[in-house]
Structure 1
Amino acid sequence: MLNKPALLGLLGALTFSVSLPALADPDGQQLYRQHCAKCHAADGRANTLRGWLYFAQNLSKAKWQDNNSDNDILDAIQEGPGAMPSFADKLSEAQQLALVKAVRDLRKP
C-alpha cells in the first residue's frame, strides 16, 4: 500500500498530466478573438472601424481563401503585412498554426 506522501505525489503527477493536452492544443478561435477580431471582425469580414481604417483583409471571402495557402496565412501572422503587427515573437508556433486553422474556418461560400 502507498504511503501518504507517495499517494499525494502520484495524484499531483496525474493532475499535471491531465492538464498537458490543454497546453498542447491552443484554442485558435480564442486567439483569433483576442488578436485578430479587432480589425478582421468576429466573422472575418473586416467590417470594423479599425478594419476599415487599416484596410484589413476580408478573411471570409472564398476567393481570398482560394488564393492564399496556409503558408501565406502563416507568413502574414508572423510578418504582419501593412499595418498588421507581427506575431512571430508574441505567439508560439502551435498558437500560430491554430490561428491559421481559425482563419480557414472563417471561409464563407
Structure 2
Amino acid sequence: MSNKRSLIGLFMALTLIGSVPALADVDGQALYRQHCAKCHAEDGRANTMRGWLYFAQNLSKAKWQDNNSDRDILDAIQEGPGAMPGYADTLSEAEQLALVKAVRDLRKP
C-alpha cells in the first residue's frame, strides 16, 4: 500500500513538474472563481447558500488539506463527488492542475 502511494505521489510530482510551463498560462484562481466559488465560496469555507444546500466541503481547513493528497483533489475535480459536477471532459489537464493549486492556496491555519 505504501509503495502504491509512493508511486502515485511520484507520478503526481512528475506530472506537476512537467506541466509547470503550462500552468503559467492558466489562471487557477480565475477557474476556481468560475467553477468552484459558487458552492465552496471565494475563501473556500463553503459558507454559501449552495454550499450549505449541497454539503460542500470546507476547502480551507488545515485538517482537510492535510488529509487529502493532490491526487484526491484532482480525482474530485475530475469525477465530482456527491452533487459536484466532474470536470474531466470540460477542463484541460493544465486547468485541472491549476485548480488543485488554487485549492491548496485556500488553506488556513
Task: State the one-letter code of the partner of 1:76.
Answer: A
The one-letter amino acid of 1:62's match is: A
Match of 1:45 in 2: 45
| Structure-2-length-normalised TM-score | 0.78
Q: Output aligned runs, 1:13-92, within 5 Å.
A: 25-92=25-92
| Cα distance, 1:95–1:71 mapped onto 2, change above 3 Å | same
2:93 matched residue in structure 1 = 93
- 1:8-32 deviation digits (Å, cap 9, x = unpaired): xxxxxxxxxxxxx789621000000
Instruction: Please list every run of 5 or more consecutive structure 1 residues that lacks an aligned counterpart in the other structure.
Output: 1-20
Report if aligned partners of 2:39, 2:56 keep a CA contact under 8 Å in 1. Answer: yes
Cα shift at 1:44: 0.0
CA distance in structure 2 between the aligned counterparts of 1:69 and 1:41, rounded to whole angstroms: 21
Say how many residue pairs are matched.
Answer: 89
Structure 1 residues 23 and 46: CA distance shift in structure 2, 3 A: closer
Summarize the Cα distance change of 1:83–1:22 in structure 2 as closer, same or farther, 3 Å threshold.
Answer: same
- Paired with 2:93 and 2:30, the residues of 1 have a C-alpha distance of 16
TM-score, normalization by structure 1: 0.78
Tell me how large the CA RMSD over aligned residues is: 1.5
Identical-pair percentage: 90
Consecutive unaligned residues of structure 2, counting only runs of 5 or more, are: 1-20
Between the aligned partners of 1:93 and 1:35, the Cα distance in structure 2 is 15
